[in-house]
Amino acid sequence: MAVVLAYIVCAHSEEAETIGEELVREKLVACANVVTGVKSIFSWQGKIEKKTEAILFCKTVSEKEKAIEKKVKSLHSYALPGICFYPAEHVSAEYEKWVHNSVSGVFADPL
């Protein structure tokens, strides 16, 4: 199982926190970080839009991607939420083990 980073754009910090907590609770991700005050400029339905949003960064494994996408879509306020997955490179062995243990429900100390 490869460690991946999920990048999820949310309407605001409360939505990011709600989604992040649910993903951690369901063991779909090991950790969720909320970054607030993100200025976004994008094209939507033929117009240029500007919004302040929040970014949710999550650490997980590649096998959880489809389940994460489904869960995020069920909780998200956007019709088309931005959900991207990126492979994590050069992950320390201890951190990689912690991510794997967290999403599998094994809470052993990785050291």
R_g of the chain, CA atoms, integer Å:
15
User: Given pLDDT bands bounded at 50, 70 and 90, which one contains residue 61?
Assistant: very high
Q: What is the pLDDT of residue 41?
A: 97
Does 74 have pLDDT greater than 60? yes
User: Given pLDDT bands bounded at 50, 70 and 90, which one contains residue 1?
Assistant: confident
Q: What structural domains and CATH numbers belong to the chain?
A: 3-104 (3.30.70.120)
Does 109 have pLDDT greater than 80? no
Residues sharing a CB contact under 8 Å with residue 4, sequence separation 6 or more, in sequence order:
59, 60, 61, 62, 65, 85, 86, 87, 88
Model pTM score: 0.92
